Amino acid sequence: MATDTTHLVPDPLFAAAADGSGAPQKTVSMPIGVPGFTLHEEQRTIPASQPPVLPVNKDLDYIGKSPERWDGHAKVTGRARYTADVQLPGMLYASFVNATVPHAKILSIDTSAAESSPGVKGVHVIETLLGGAVLRNPALDVSKYPIVRYAGQPVAAVAATTPQAADDAAAKVKVQYEALPFVVDMDKAREANAPQVFPGPADQAGTAGGGGSARGIPQTGNVHGPSVKKHGDAEQGFKDAHVVVDTHHYTQVQTHSALETHGVVADWKPELLTVYASTQGIASVREELAAYFHLPKSQVRVITEYMGGGFGAKFGGGNQGVVAAALSRKTGAPVRLMLNRQEEHLSVGNRPSSDQHLRIGATKDGDITAIQLISYGTAGCGTGAGCAGPATNLYKWAALHTEENDVFINAGPAAAFRAPGHPQGAFALEQSIDDLAGRLSMDPIVLRDRIDENPVRRVQRQIVRESAIWKSRSARSNADAGPIKRGIGLSQSVWYRHLNLKCGAEVRVHKDGSVEVLSAVQDIGSGIKTVLAQILAEQFGVPPAKVSVKVGDSNYPVGPNSGGSVTTASLTPAVRDAAWQASQKFLSSIAPALGTPPSDLSLSHGMVSSASGKFKPVSFRVAAAKMNTDEVSAQVMRTPDYDPSKYDTYGGVDVAEVAVDTETGRIHVKRVLAVHDCGRPMNPNQVISQICGGVIQGISYTLFEHRLLDPNHGLMVNPDLDRYKIAGAYEVPEIEVQLTESYIGQSSTDASGIGEAAGIISAGAAIGNAFYNATGVRIRQLPMTPAVVFAALNQPQQSMEAI
């Protein structure tokens, strides 16, 4: 249905770079909207070198279908080799020595006993620490060694012949501390006379996954902020309002807890540093290590064949990368440094907490006259606790005023965590929007239809409205008479079309009819390998399982860092462009043997045909034997989006059904309906896997997960996976996922990402709104443990009265 309306320039293969700067253009008609609801065609003017417009999924052979995960066999048989599994000849095992106190100046480090410990080959003392906020004036830290700002901060490391020998030796490193006063409670840290985590203003840069804070934000004591955004006159907006909802919400610190911890195997050779890394960003690891060791990037190779989860925390080389490389250089042997579970909780990232004061003013009809959000959150000794994204971007408002503050405490620095700031922000916003609907006696969907301009979410709400679960919702809250009360609630999510345009891929066609794609992207579990195979399958008619997918190695063309749901949206157009260009070169390569010009040839559905009828269609494989060279290839960088002015946020609507046991204080999530948008779903089954995962991670965040710090000693009391409770098989509800296939006419694949928007943003508020529907009581604190539930059930409700 979607067709090119212009002809290609004579030779698209050699057209000028498709960066929009003076390159030839063509106007095409593209599918836009949601099939079954809003699908239509729109014109786009795009670089002439772009491949033909891809029709909607139902008209394709492989894209939009769900072939088996390309590396599924390797994963179920244990063949998949993760960083933790890499074993090189002569490899040493390294262990960190970590600070045992939350705040201190290190006076001395005695490594002599460790060095003479059995099996030890090298000891490294950390003099430059990565991660966390950095003082604007570094001279304020007068110390030979980095100041200890949290218990668990790496101080040194030991490399030995076995993991046990390394642990033994690490325990023999003697660190002499001069203790400094510490604070691990955010409210105490905000007090005027609180111990100071930093002696002056400090900032943390974001990573490829997001997080961090802008520079130049004011800082008073431990409070880094506010970061202020003002649009319109919020005070006037509140004066104009018929109703003002005024709420306070609190969320806890969550740790990423990927099953594979952070870690690397570093192999330092004079000509090349090879680093196997458990990372979401091969490019980011290469960049950071090259910069740290003053090596040209060409002499740093990073490999990530498989990685066991990151969720935003795994970017850059990190202390483990730097230390392992240093130890490898020192010992002349490859060094493996994988964090243990405790270190994973303490030192490599977390989702910041939040304390949010939100005010929403609205007219009688529900139009928002003003939103004001004042938030505080702690990212430990880092920054990045801002959570105004949902309040800013989900609904239309006449005026907006947000102030985000980071509060330093003596705890490990935060890192980007799946939709940074958004689960926190949506928990407050989406419960408050339901409050507003209640105050206006409006249905929560009707109100959202009025104030939410996103066309896809409008479709999604229609799907929700017609769903069995929503129809079974009682409009009246606290409708069940017994001790177990059922309720249903919804929440929306918002995410953004973030892209990494500095990525590319190479596609090769061989004379034996085999095809391969090469890109230094990493598959973090979202299944990009499968998707790349599908793109080549669509182009050449080869089954995806037969496509050779080479990723996870910086020897290939640079790939995107996988953070912020950018991977599929960024990389797939480059791969499709490369596949298309390679196919055109392929046709040129077989044309002489077929005695016809390339323009007479076409390749579709795996068959090569002649427009002039010179020969009967032959299979791609048979035709490949006619190539006049052994191999053709095309390497392509990502073309910018066709029309970034039509920039769209996207997201979803999640509905939760809960059963609240008012006698035990437990909330059981029974059912979830997750309606989500990821542009063109490239592999729906894999997308559904991610959404189920986001929903479950969101339930886990909402009900269970909680990093607990002991205020007396400044230590984390649950740095493991038994006392740090994560949702397991018993806590998983029945989950129904509905994908809203959506076309926005932005690239040659028109795919977006799903990782962030998938469930975790909206779970807290969906469960909160369901809890209200069940009990008639608001719960405004995470995690919703039995104690929190009882406190809510026994408290008179204040917020609704406040105006």
Note whether 234 and 399 are within 8 A (CB): yes
Beta carbon of residue 704, minimum distance to another protein (angstroms, whole number): 12
Binding residue for another protein (CB under 8 A) from 735, 765, 779, 784? 735
Separation of alpha carbons 770 and 547, rounded Å: 46
Strands (E), 252-349: 263-269, 272-277, 300-303, 335-338
Binding residue for another protein (CB under 8 A) from 311, 315, 620, 701? 311
Using rule CB under 8 A, residue 617 touches another protein:
no
Using rule CB under 8 A, residue 689 touches another protein:
yes
Using rule CB under 8 A, residue 78 touches another protein:
yes
Binding residue for another protein (CB under 8 A) from 84, 135, 659, 793? 84
Using rule CB under 8 A, residue 116 touches another protein:
no
Beta carbon of residue 571, minimum distance to another protein (angstroms, whole number): 18
Q: Which is nearer to another protein, 85 or 233 (CB)?
A: 85
Task: Compute the residue count for the chain.
Answer: 803
Beta carbon of residue 11, minimum distance to another protein (angstroms, whole number): 41
Binding residue for another protein (CB under 8 A) from 8, 159, 283, 307? 307
Note whether 494 and 439 are within 8 A (CB): no
Binding residue for another protein (CB under 8 A) from 138, 729, 794, 796? 729
Note whether 357 and 224 are within 8 A (CB): no
Beta carbon of residue 411, minimum distance to another protein (angstroms, whole number): 21
x/- contact string, 469-508, with another protein (CB under 8 A)? ----------------------------------------
Q: Which is nearer to another protein, 343 or 404 (CB)?
A: 343
Nearest to 33 by CA among 651, 677, 685: 677
Beta carbon of residue 431, minimum distance to another protein (angstroms, whole number): 23
Please tell me what DSSP assigns to residue 210.
B
Q: Which is nearer to another protein, 69 or 780 (CB)?
A: 69
Binding residue for another protein (CB under 8 A) from 4, 61, 85, 631? 85
Collapsing DSSP to helix, strand or coil, 776 comes out as coil
Rounded alpha-carbon distances, angstroms, from residue 45 to 196, 411, 412, 581: 56, 51, 49, 19
Segment interacting with another protein, rule: CB under 8 A, options 205-213, 362-370, 462-470, 719-727: 719-727
Binding residue for another protein (CB under 8 A) from 695, 744, 777, 779? 695
Using rule CB under 8 A, residue 162 touches another protein:
yes
Q: Which is nearer to another protein, 153 or 257 (CB)?
A: 257
Q: Which is nearer to another protein, 95 or 402 (CB)?
A: 95
Beta carbon of residue 754, minimum distance to another protein (angstroms, whole number): 12
Report CA 259 to chain centroid distance, whole Å: 16
Separation of alpha carbons 182 and 153, rounded Å: 14
Beta carbon of residue 294, minimum distance to another protein (angstroms, whole number): 33
Separation of alpha carbons 415 and 352, rounded Å: 8
Cα angle, residue 777 at apex, residues 487 and 422 outer, rounded to 5° = 80
Using rule CB under 8 A, residue 766 touches another protein:
no
Tokens standing for residue 25:
């253009």
Other C-beta atoms closer than 10 Å to the C-beta of 66 total: 18
Q: Residue 623: how many CA atoms within 13 Å on its side-chain side?
A: 30
Beta carbon of residue 666, minimum distance to another protein (angstroms, whole number): 17
Q: Which of residues 545-604 bind another protein (CB under 8 A)?
A: none
Using rule CB under 8 A, residue 71 touches another protein:
yes
Nearest to 513 by CA among 571, 589, 611, 565: 589
Beta carbon of residue 677, minimum distance to another protein (angstroms, whole number): 19
Using rule CB under 8 A, residue 72 touches another protein:
yes
Segment interacting with another protein, rule: CB under 8 A, options 197-205, 295-303, 609-617, 720-728: 720-728
Binding residue for another protein (CB under 8 A) from 24, 55, 163, 199? 163
Strand partners, 658: 487, 669
Segment interacting with another protein, rule: CB under 8 A, options 132-140, 562-570, 688-696, 706-714: 688-696
Report CA 13 to chain centroid distance, whole Å: 35
Q: Which is nearer to another protein, 254 or 424 (CB)?
A: 254
Binding residue for another protein (CB under 8 A) from 29, 50, 57, 66? 66
Q: Which of residues 206-225 bind another protein (CB under 8 A)?
A: none
The residue assigned the tokens 């979803």 is 652
Strands 219-220 and 223-231: antiparallel
Segment interacting with another protein, rule: CB under 8 A, options 244-252, 376-384, 439-447, 685-693: 685-693
Other C-beta atoms closer than 10 Å to the C-beta of 621 total: 16
Q: Which is nearer to another protein, 525 or 559 (CB)?
A: 525
Beta carbon of residue 68, minimum distance to another protein (angstroms, whole number): 5
Segment interacting with another protein, rule: CB under 8 A, options 3-11, 72-80, 421-429, 617-625: 72-80
Note whether 588 and 527 are within 8 A (CB): no
Beta carbon of residue 28, minimum distance to another protein (angstroms, whole number): 34
Note whether 526 and 488 are within 8 A (CB): no
Q: Which of residues 503-542 bind another protein (CB under 8 A)?
A: 524-527
Separation of alpha carbons 381 and 735, rounded Å: 37
Using rule CB under 8 A, residue 89 touches another protein:
no
Using rule CB under 8 A, residue 164 touches another protein:
yes
Nearest to 387 by CA among 468, 533, 494: 494
Segment interacting with another protein, rule: CB under 8 A, options 7-15, 35-43, 568-576, 722-730: 722-730
Nearest to 420 by CA among 385, 395, 374, 391: 385
Q: Which of residues 187-206 bind another protein (CB under 8 A)?
A: none
Q: Which of residues 249-268 bind another protein (CB under 8 A)?
A: 257-261
Q: Which of residues 336-395 bind another protein (CB under 8 A)?
A: 340-341
Q: Which is nearer to another protein, 342 or 619 (CB)?
A: 342
Note whether 71 and 16 are within 8 A (CB): no
Note whether 444 and 432 are within 8 A (CB): no
Amino acid in the structure at residue 801: E
Report CA 82 to chain centroid distance, whole Å: 20
Nearest to 250 by CA among 784, 787, 803, 790: 784
Separation of alpha carbons 732 and 353, rounded Å: 24
Phi and psi angles of residue 267, each rounded to the nearest 5 degrees, phi first? -130, 100
Using rule CB under 8 A, residue 277 touches another protein:
no
Segment interacting with another protein, rule: CB under 8 A, options 120-128, 134-142, 433-441, 731-739: 731-739
Using rule CB under 8 A, residue 304 touches another protein:
no
The residue count for binding another protein (CB under 8 A) is 60
Beta carbon of residue 484, minimum distance to another protein (angstroms, whole number): 19
Using rule CB under 8 A, residue 697 touches another protein:
yes
Nearest to 789 by CA among 602, 656, 700, 662: 662
Amino acid in the structure at residue 91: M
Report CA 252 to chain centroid distance, whole Å: 19
Note whether 385 and 290 are within 8 A (CB): no
Beta carbon of residue 158, minimum distance to another protein (angstroms, whole number): 17
The residue assigned the tokens 């959150």 is 377
Cα angle, residue 79 at apex, residues 74 and 81 outer, rounded to 5° = 105
Q: Give the DSSP H/E element, type plus range, for residue 249.
A: strand 243-251
Interface contacts to another protein, rule CB under 8 A: 66, 68-69, 71-82, 84-85, 87, 162-164, 257-261, 306-309, 311, 340-341, 524-527, 685-686, 688-690, 692-697, 700, 720-722, 726-730, 732, 734-735
